[in-house]
Structure 1
């Protein structure tokens, strides 16, 4: 009798619990609470979750492998974020990460003639090989087998996939009247690569007949140390920014060094039009503007006597400043930034024609 009475009590109790459980489940599934109950409004919860997922995915870095150290010169691989504000980039020289690398930078001047020091493993579908070169065609060997090997170009060429100039002109934060540092020399030139057949050497040999040029370097038995290099350029009114060869867009630090220290560059290289694509036309003197080295010499002597005319070559400083790039770390970071922003497939199939010409 006691057992039957107990069952009569338990059955309604269990049934009640079951009904209550169903009611609570339905309540949770269909009841929409007021937004004030939540720290994040209901309508933005899904967006908030998406942002969290996006943030987590962004933590997967873009990996760029330095396959060949340019000229064997190593650099700090951790500077992209701290120096150049390029985040989520992992530069590495660890070839064990080849299969995970989104980009592989290969420096042209360090490629062997038989291509034996290039990666031998298959290229992952997502990976791009980047051809890096800062030298002119005259000083870059044309290697059989590389014309269709790369996906992207990284060089000083203005139409490179990743433009890597020697310098640039950036807007100045405010106007200021620039006063050049004091000068005790009229014309200077520091040269390490001396070749009698170079156009610049022939021009110099004629120019020095008409104006004194303070020339330094091995060819003149006057070594300039790294510490004295920029101060020497600063001490001159004009500096011969003569490139070692004449090619389209090939404009190097020889232009930007004097600009940065308040010396007027006298340029010999590509056309004035090429120079004016990257620097103001009244910031430099081009040898092509004169019919002969003697005419150029006469003009420099005139500017030496006319301070008003000379100072016009610094008017650009009221609005612009010089940026010089940190080789080659900054360019590697630029490549990484490009890969982060450009996921699409690319191939470069005419390297020989593009760089060396037909």
Structure 2
């Protein structure tokens, strides 16, 4: 009865707040989640706030004096040297999670054997990462957004490229495609370095854009796809499979080179679409529902990592980073 239970209940109410485990949990719930940016990606600094992400109680910092308090450490793979000499030397606190962050494909990332069993979490463009952050995404349009209007077009196919390698599949495909349809080419590879405004103007002026990736890898779909979409140009994708692209964007919003048995067949389709406006416009059906958003290198990854740490307190480990990413 109540009389017999009353002393027990009073003791629980009085004693529990002074229990170390209870105190620790309560303090942890009130404390900001601290994420330490161990190195700036490619030396590029970004704002250390998550105000645009509707994420609260995140403290992003690059102050290494906070190492022992940080709930997570974000490491950019391309800035880790092969000898690991720029990694932390102090013991890792038991509550702290180390996060591997990389937006480059395996072909453009050095495999570092010493990192294989170092990290707790992965953050990359790959959808099977613990914290997936694609290069871009589609979000619903709102009533405040302007309705889509197709920009004026005076070119059929364009390509802007800086990294030229005759052995790349994209270069081989381009060399064959250009035999059957005119392609307007720009970029450092052709001695035509562009300003941001020139880059934008070219995308606006083209009906189709060669969204050709420099390497073909799982989920490696970069701004080469999202930028033309956002400017009203239809991407012609060369990269991972069509299905992987469809995991990111609508199936009828792009053309995939694998849809055609030869570059000549693709060229014939482009020439046909050039003369059939209504069919061409079907590639923009998605614009009535979505708009393109790009990812900010570093800041998006830090904020999403911080949110992940808030929602996943349990222990995790990446036991075979090299096999997962380069295998």
TM-score, with structure 2 as normaliser: 0.89
Aligned positions of 1:86-97 closer than 5 A = 86-97=55-66
2:124 corresponds to 1:155: yes
Selected match of 2:96 from 102, 119, 127: 127
**Structure 2 equivalent of residue 251 of structure 1:** 221
Residues 98-125 of structure 1 show CA distances to partners (whole Å, capped at 9, x for unaligned) of 1111000000001111111111110000
Aligned positions of 1:61-72 closer than 5 A = 61-72=32-43
Question: Which shows bigger deviation, 315-324 or 266-275?
Answer: 315-324
2:112 corresponds to 1:143: yes
Shift in Å, 1:320: 1.9
**Structure 2 equivalent of residue 229 of structure 1:** 199
Aligned positions of 1:16-165 closer than 5 A = 58-77=29-48, 79-80=49-50, 82-165=51-134
Cα contact 2:113–2:322 (8 A) shared by 1: no
**Structure 1 equivalent of residue 258 of structure 2:** 288
User: In 1, distance between residues paired with 2:229 and 2:189?
Assistant: 25
User: In 2, distance between residues paired with 1:55 and 1:280?
Assistant: 45
Cα contact 2:100–2:119 (8 A) shared by 1: yes
Cα contact 2:38–2:75 (8 A) shared by 1: yes
Shift in Å, 1:59: 4.5
User: In 2, distance between residues paired with 1:199 and 1:253?
Assistant: 18
Shift in Å, 1:176: 8.7
**Structure 2 equivalent of residue 267 of structure 1:** 237
2:163 corresponds to 1:182: no
Residues 121-147 of structure 1 show CA distances to partners (whole Å, capped at 9, x for unaligned) of 100000000000000000010111111
TM-score, with structure 1 as normaliser: 0.82
User: In 2, distance between residues paired with 1:177 and 1:167?
Assistant: 20
User: In 2, distance between residues paired with 1:294 and 1:241?
Assistant: 17
What SS class does the counterpart of residue 65 from structure 1 fall into? strand
Shift in Å, 1:242: 0.3
User: In 1, distance between residues paired with 2:157 and 2:167?
Assistant: 22
Q: Gapped runs of 5+ residues in structure 2?
A: 1-13, 18-24
Shift in Å, 1:171: 2.5
**Structure 2 equivalent of residue 313 of structure 1:** 283
User: In 2, distance between residues paired with 1:285 and 1:248?
Assistant: 18
Cα contact 2:162–2:188 (8 A) shared by 1: yes
Cα-Cα RMSD: 2.0
Cα contact 2:148–2:287 (8 A) shared by 1: yes
User: In 2, distance between residues paired with 1:299 and 1:96?
Assistant: 59
User: In 1, distance between residues paired with 2:147 and 2:198?
Assistant: 27
Shift in Å, 1:55: 9.5
